[in-house]
Chains A and B, each alone.
Chain A
Amino acid sequence: MILEVDDLTVELPLGYRRKVHAVSGVSFSLRQNETLGLVGESGCGKSTLGKTIVGLVKPSRGSVTIAGRSITTLKGRELRLARRNAQLVFQDPLSSLNPRRTILNSLIEPMAVWNTLEPDQRAPRAMELLEEVGLDPSLIKGRFPSQLSGGQCQRVSIARALCVSPTLLICDEPVSALDVSIQAQILNLLHDIREQRKLAMLFISHDLSVVHNISDKIAVMYMGRLCETGQTAAVYKQPLHPYTSLLLDSIPGTQLDEPQSGESGESEASGPDPATTTQPLEPPSDVSSAINPPSGCRYHPRCPYADATCESEQPPMRELRSGHFVGCHHPLA
């Protein structure tokens, strides 16, 4: 296992004894050469989870282990070494690069910080990395981020993340700011890099079509908790959690993916009620938030199947099918 996250809880203090329950009791693991897609709405805690894994945010409980080293208990030099294994790629490529530094210098810096190569070998290594992410090194190295397009900047960010040869790559919405035509290039690139370097990748995104394309496994997050995890194909084909089902129904343009004749052989995602697909489109109530999460199952105020149990008891994660876990009292199967 490259990454093991166990019962991770992050509570961020707001003052006046109030706190944001950003991440609550999240556990999962990630193997070499495997991509986990983490999906959820904005504010559900997916970015906080990513930051906690690399040690940018202190968890209040639980543990994170990267390649056998515990991020949560180690200190000092040991911690630094452990963190080197995990690198981040952020959403906005332009603002994640130093605007006053040439691309070459931006790439050399992490190597200098980690003291990985002899100083005179760093520049050649940076050139190799630029080549690896599909840029022309001689053309790009002396430029500044403002002289590059968004797609090129994102390629540079990926190259920078690879500078210290990490075993885990965390991508936080890496293609959300890019146009569709560029997005496809970056997704293909990330896939190739993961294959070649046998990386473990955590891919955080709100875009369900993108996550479907790049992930082996999916984890759906709602208000700080994981509500469903499983193999990508299985989760998309037959979601077990009502929230996952709602998310999948909300993907725009899916009706075009279905046969036009209307003979929907697959849409019998047999739930408790056959009228699952026509969930009322109501604005979700504003009362529940991560500051004051609902009791029991956190999804119950929005859930069409909620009953008294859902209100009082938090559903444990159960393995309903092999490798397919769901945290719901009334799963859709």
Chain B
Amino acid sequence: MKARAATSFGEDATSSAPLLRVRSLTTSYVGERGSLRVVDDVSFSLEGGKVLSVVGESGSGKTALCRSIMRLFPTSKVHVDGQVIFDDQQLLELDDLEMSELWGTRIAMVFQDPMSSLNPVMRVGNQVAEGPRRRLHMARSAAKERAISALKSAGIADAKQRYSRYPHELSGGLRQRVAIAIAIANGPKLILADEPTTGLDVTVQAQILSLVNQLSHSAGIAVIMVTHDLAVAASASDDIAVMYAGRVVEIGPAREVIGHPRMRYTEALLLASPRLYQTPHARLNAIAGRPPDPLDLGPGCAFSPRCPHADSRCFEERPELTASSEDQRHLYACWHPASAALDEFAKLAVK
């Protein structure tokens, strides 16, 4: 059951222990209709200074994965099994108080909608300064200094003036920058960003993505970015994990996953997205059907009902993550991985 290959993702023999290790993480919602596995046996590792994008359709479990790592679920309703090792600490074994000590100081989160994640009746600067004051017990003036420098690092020009603004006075892009400033104010080592650019204009999206990358690479922060948009993941991350029905079905370096997708779902997603190298009105290769009902998953590969390459084995036996022969860091779970068709696709990708 446990994929040995999966445990090796992100762990090079050359480097020391990575910052974050997730081992067979399984999250189930317990409800009246039985328990619902929203995250199923997910394993990966992430080093500081790297950006990992988690890509998937709605309901594929990407947000639940973040919340499980962050331990934002009520324990009575949601079971989280497996291991999350962050900086040699077993996060799932900490008690609530110990965990809350980590929130905002070592691990921070950026949410999708800054309008609802920011406090509407508090000046944005004070919201940034709140972290340093409460968590690092800084004096008011020192915390303000810290907040202004965080706002500047988040790319906000004239941070001093903007400090005393309210969220509604700022544009969507600026609000998301404030949310990022809050996340980085205490100098965290890990940031979980849940759809940080969804709902923003393309020009602003490009700015925010480059900011996230720049912060990650310069300050050595590990970033897990959840997105539904493969193009966003492709342009702004070192590694990509593709999720389908709660499982990671393909994971590897961004260029490999996008340029040479092996898992048929990743391939289908790429072929379904309109691309600029196509001529206008090019027929899109839509994926038939729709995402599976998580309460009604068969024993086989969850994508098999929609997959044009599926055969009886796909319906009966679930493929495990295995390493690609070309690149040991590129893992995929598929019985009939793309290979010949891949060349066709690669040709497409370079026109």
Partners in one complex: yes
Residues of A within 8 A of B (CB): 41-42, 149, 151, 179-185, 187-188, 191, 206-210, 212-216, 232-233, 236, 246-247, 249-260, 281-284, 286
The 9 tightest CB contacts between A and B, nearest first, are A253-B231, A213-B274, A184-B286, A181-B287, A184-B284, A184-B272, A250-B206, A41-B201, A185-B286
Do A233 and B279 touch (CB < 8 A)? yes
CB distance from B35 to the nearest CB of A (A): 23
Write out the residue numbers on chain A whose beta carbons fall within 8 Å of the beta carbon of B173: 283-284
Q: In the complex the two chains form, what is the Cα distance from A184 to B57 in whole Å? A: 13
Do A233 and B280 touch (CB < 8 A)? yes
Write out the residue numbers on chain B whose beta carbons fall within 8 Å of the beta carbon of A257: 275-277, 349, 351
CB distance from A11 to the nearest CB of B (A): 22
Q: In the complex the two chains form, what is the Cα distance from A256 to B258 in whole Å? A: 8
Q: In the complex the two chains form, what is the Cα distance from A179 to B273 in whole Å? A: 10
Do B290 and A151 touch (CB < 8 A)? yes
Write out the residue numbers on chain A whose beta carbons fall within 8 Å of the beta carbon of B281: 191, 213-214, 216
Do A188 and B283 touch (CB < 8 A)? yes
B189 within 8 A of A: no
Do B230 and A253 touch (CB < 8 A)? yes
Residues of B within 8 A of A (CB): 57-58, 155-157, 170-174, 177, 201-207, 209-210, 228-232, 234-236, 258-259, 268-269, 272-287, 290-291, 306, 349-351
Write out the residue numbers on chain A whose beta carbons fall within 8 Å of the beta carbon of B207: 281-283
Do A252 and B287 touch (CB < 8 A)? no
Taking a contact as CB atoms closer than 8 A, the residue among A149, A187, A284 that contacts B274 in the complex is A187
Write out the residue numbers on chain A whose beta carbons fall within 8 Å of the beta carbon of B283: 188, 191
CB nearest to B288 among chain A residues: A185
CB distance from A222 to the nearest CB of B (A): 11
Q: In the complex the two chains form, what is the Cα distance from A214 to B283 in whole Å? A: 9
Since A181-B291, A257-B275 are in contact, a sample of 18 more A-B pairs with Cβ atoms closer than 8 Å, ordered by chain A residue number, is: A41-B202, A41-B203, A180-B228, A180-B230, A181-B268, A185-B286, A191-B283, A206-B202, A209-B273, A212-B274, A213-B278, A253-B230, A253-B234, A255-B235, A256-B235, A281-B206, A284-B171, A286-B170
Q: In the complex the two chains form, what is the Cα distance from A247 to B229 in whole Å? A: 17
Q: In the complex the two chains form, what is the Cα distance from A209 to B282 in whole Å? A: 12
Majority secondary structure of chain A interface residues (helix, strand, loop or mixed): helix
Q: In the complex the two chains form, what is the Cα distance from A63 to B132 in whole Å? A: 57
Do A282 and B273 touch (CB < 8 A)? no
CB distance from A135 to the nearest CB of B (A): 12
Write out the residue numbers on chain B whose beta carbons fall within 8 Å of the beta carbon of A233: 279-280
CB distance from A23 to the nearest CB of B (A): 18
CB distance from B331 to the nearest CB of A (A): 20
Write out the residue numbers on chain B whose beta carbons fall within 8 Å of the beta carbon of A249: 206
Q: In the complex the two chains form, what is the Cα distance from A216 to B279 in whole Å? A: 10
Write out the residue numbers on chain A whose beta carbons fall within 8 Å of the beta carbon of B276: 208-209, 212, 236, 251, 254, 257
Taking a contact as CB atoms closer than 8 A, the residue among B201, B204, B269 that contacts A181 in the complex is B269
Write out the residue numbers on chain A whose beta carbons fall within 8 Å of the beta carbon of B236: 252
Residue from A236, A257, A260 whose CB has the most chain B CB atoms within 10 Å: A257
CB nearest to A243 among chain B residues: B203
CB distance from A233 to the nearest CB of B (A): 6
Known: A181-B286, A250-B205, A257-B275. A215 touches B280 (CB 8 A): yes
Do A210 and B274 touch (CB < 8 A)? yes
Known: A247-B202, A286-B174. A252 touches B234 (CB 8 A): yes
Q: In the complex the two chains form, what is the Cα distance from A181 to B57 in whole Å? A: 8
Q: In the complex the two chains form, what is the Cα distance from A181 to B235 in whole Å? A: 20
Q: In the complex the two chains form, what is the Cα distance from A215 to B279 in whole Å? A: 10
Q: In the complex the two chains form, what is the Cα distance from A214 to B281 in whole Å? A: 5
Known: A206-B202, A252-B205, A282-B157. A259 touches B231 (CB 8 A): no
Q: In the complex the two chains form, what is the Cα distance from A191 to B284 in whole Å? A: 10
14 contacts between A and B (CB under 8 A): A191-B283, A212-B276, A212-B278, A213-B278, A214-B274, A250-B206, A252-B235, A254-B276, A256-B234, A257-B275, A259-B350, A282-B157, A283-B177, A286-B174
